[in-house]
Structure 1
Amino acid sequence: MKRTGEIVLAIIGVILSGLFAIGGLSFNALIDNPEFQEGMNQGINNDPTLTQGDIDAVISIIESVGPFLLVVGLISVILGIIGAIAIKGNKKPVLAGIMFILAALVIGLGTIGIGFLPGILFLIAGIMSFVRKPKVTTHDAF
């Protein structure tokens, strides 16, 4: 049985999840840029309603976004690749389905819904892995 649909969905999901990882890397590089930090501090300091504790909280949240996106993207990419390898040749469709659904949960929930597109692709590939069964052919002895 050919599993082209699952493989194509998995590859697209892996590519989109990889974009989240690349986005996390670029966000890390941006946060380390002194010009960006200065502009961010000026923008935050211009708001008179913010206290120093609020400013520190906002900055710590912004600094944690990059590494988090990187980790979530990489985990999802790894799970998607394992699933695609497992489904190739219809070897282990149950393992592939589990990996695809885990990848969907990681990227979909880990990004708080921002990664819904790769999450949906992985979820569809996972469901297809479980649902599609090879056709049973019967041979008559007559």
Structure 2
Amino acid sequence: MKRTAEIVLAVIGALGYAFTAALGGFMIWLQNNKGLMEEVFNETIEQNPELGMSDMEVMLDALGTGGWLFAIASVVAVILGIVAIVLLKGNEKRVVAGIIFIATAVIVAIVTSGAGILAGLFYLIAGVMALIRKSKQVIEE
């Protein structure tokens, strides 16, 4: 049986996770670009004097930590998706591929606090389809 639907869903999910990894990379870049962030912080403090510089520093640290978390989790999700696609391609290990898809979708959605949930939905659907759809058995007479 062809597994075209599962593979297409997995590729769309992997592209979604690649976008999330790029978002994480952008967050890391923002944290390391101190000049730009100081300008943004100064404008924000001028507009909202109740915000202190310590709040901005905490936000900057959270931005970097979240960026690394998004980037690492998303890259791992893309790698696991590729492994599951390879397992699914031969149609011999569809159960293992389905479990990898489902586990990856759930774990990355939790780790990224929901940022990877859209891509995870594609992995989840591909995983369920891999587990439910069985190969047609040819009956010889």
Identify the TM-score tier after normalising by the shorter chain: 0.7 to 0.9
How many Å apart are 1:66 and its aligned residue? 1.4
Write the deviation string for residues 32-61 of structure 1: whole angstroms up to 9, x where unpaired. Answer: 223322123214433332345433322221
Q: Which residue of 2 aligns with 1:78?
A: 79
Q: Secondary structure at the match of 2:90?
A: helix
CA RMSD of aligned residues (A): 1.9
Unaligned runs of 5+ in 2: none
Structure 2-normalised TM-score? Answer: 0.86
Q: Which residue of 1 aligns with 2:18?
A: 18
- Name the CA distance, whole Å, in 1 between partners of 2:80 and 2:23: 19
Residue correspondence of structure 1 range 109-124 to structure 2 within 5 A: 109-124=110-125
Structure 1-normalised TM-score? Answer: 0.86
Contact 1:2 1:89 survives alignment (8 Å): no
Higher mean Cα deviation, 21-30 or 115-124? 21-30
Q: Which residue of 1 aligns with 2:33?
A: 33
Structure 1 segments of 4+ aligned residues over 4 angstroms from their partners? none
Contact 1:100 1:122 survives alignment (8 Å): yes
Instruction: Count the aligned residue pairs.
Output: 140
Unaligned runs of 5+ in 1: none
Q: Is the alpha carbon distance of 1:17 and 1:92 closer, same or farther for their aligned partners in structure 2, counting shifts above 3 Å?
A: same
Q: Is the alpha carbon distance of 1:28 and 1:100 closer, same or farther for their aligned partners in structure 2, counting shifts above 3 Å?
A: same
Write the deviation string for residues 80-115 of structure 1: whole angstroms up to 9, x where unpaired. Answer: 111111100202111101110122113322332232
How many Å apart are 1:134 and its aligned residue? 1.3
- Name the CA distance, whole Å, in 2 between partners of 1:50 and 1:136: 67
The percent of aligned pairs where both chains have the same amino acid is 35
